[in-house]
Structure 1
Amino acid sequence: MDANAVAELEKAGVKVGAPERLFVAAEWRDDKHLLPVGERALVRDGELTAHVTLQPISKLWTGSAKPPSFSPAPPPEYHPFFILIEATAAGYCRAVRNTETDQEFERLYRHLLRRPDGTDRNPLFSYLQGAARLYMSLRDVSQAEFEAVVGRLHQSAKHHSTHVGSINYFQDVLRGVLGA
């Protein structure tokens, strides 16, 4: 958890008690150039937006909590973490008017799992990373819990992939998150 990020969001009027209502919104330099999420992220809470400074994921790991089994489904206490990341992914796809393939989501989640503070050529990676950083700024999350959540997202994208170019993960999971 990051008390500075919480204070920054609260000052802007963002309701930090319900992270499942938030997502990292796409931010444009101009009509054509999407800005990747850097140190600061644009957070959306309904119609309210606010910029917040977020630390790297590795600096946000807190404690040594071990997550329970996510089979057959993650327990309800983890749902807000999943929803924030998936809402960010859906919002990104809607903003750029491009649905990433199941294979690309699978690759991005695997990369986030392996290199949580890394970079990627696909700007969506910085948004997925920003969503994890936002949630971890609001709630205590251990490294094991982070890895379990991102690992489950990777499995979900892989499970939905039926062929090269399929977009089932977006259609079956993400579309309903924001009404994308």
Structure 2
Amino acid sequence: MDANAVAELQKAGVKVDQPDRLYVAVEWQDGKHVVPVGERAQVRDGELLAHVGLQPISKLWTGNKQPPSFAKAPPAEYEPFFMLIEATAAGYCRATRNTETDQEFERLYRHLLRRPDGTDRNPLFSYLQGAVRLYMSLREVSQAEFEAVVERLHQSARHFSTHTGSINYFQEVLRGVLGA
């Protein structure tokens, strides 16, 4: 958790007790180029937009709680974490009018798992990181819990992939999030 980020969001009027209603919104440079998420992220809470400073993922890990098995379905307590990440992914695809392929989502989630504070050529990676950083700023999350959530997202993208160029993960999972 990050008390500074919580205070900054509360001051802006963001409802920090409902992270499943939030997502990291796309920022544009000159209305043409996506600005990757850096130290600060643009957070959307309904019609409200706020900017917040976010620490790197590795600095936000708290405790050593072990997550339960996600083999069948993640427990309800993890749903807000998934929702924030998937809402950010859906919002990104909608804003950029570019539906990433299942293989690209799989690659990005795998990269996030392996290099949580890394960089990638695809700006969507920084938005997925931003979503994780935002959630972990609001809730205590151990490294093992982070890894379990991102691994489950990676498996989901892989599960929906049927062929090169398929966008089933977006169509089956993300489309309903935010009405993307």
Correspondence 1:21 to 2:21: yes
Letter in 2 for 1:171: Q
CA distance in 1 between counterparts of 2:139 and 2:31 reads 34
CA distance in 1 between counterparts of 2:20 and 2:53 reads 19
Q: Which residue of 1 aligns with 2:131?
A: 131
Unaligned ranges ≥5, structure 2: none
Q: Which residue of 1 aligns with 2:116?
A: 116
Task: Note the C-alpha offset of 1:121.
Answer: 0.2
**1:161-180 → structure 2 map (5 Å cutoff):** 161-180=161-180
Q: Which residue of 2 aligns with 1:107?
A: 107
CA distance in 2 between counterparts of 1:121 and 1:174 reads 22
Q: Which residue of 2 aligns with 1:94?
A: 94
Amino-acid identity (%): 84
Deviations 1:117-143 (A, max 9, x none): 000000000000000000000000000
| TM-score scaled by length of structure 1 | 1.00
Match of 2:176, SS state, is helix
Q: Which residue of 2 aligns with 1:151?
A: 151
Unaligned ranges ≥5, structure 1: none
Match of 1:104, SS state, is helix
Letter in 1 for 2:169: Y
Letter in 2 for 1:65: K
Aligned length: 180
Q: Which residue of 2 aligns with 1:33?
A: 33
Task: Note the C-alpha offset of 1:102.
Answer: 0.1
Task: Note the C-alpha offset of 1:33.
Answer: 1.2
Deviations 1:13-36 (A, max 9, x none): 000000000000000111111100
| TM-score scaled by length of structure 2 | 1.00
CA distance in 2 between counterparts of 1:30 and 1:81 reads 31
Match of 1:153, SS state, is helix
Structural RMSD (CA) = 0.3
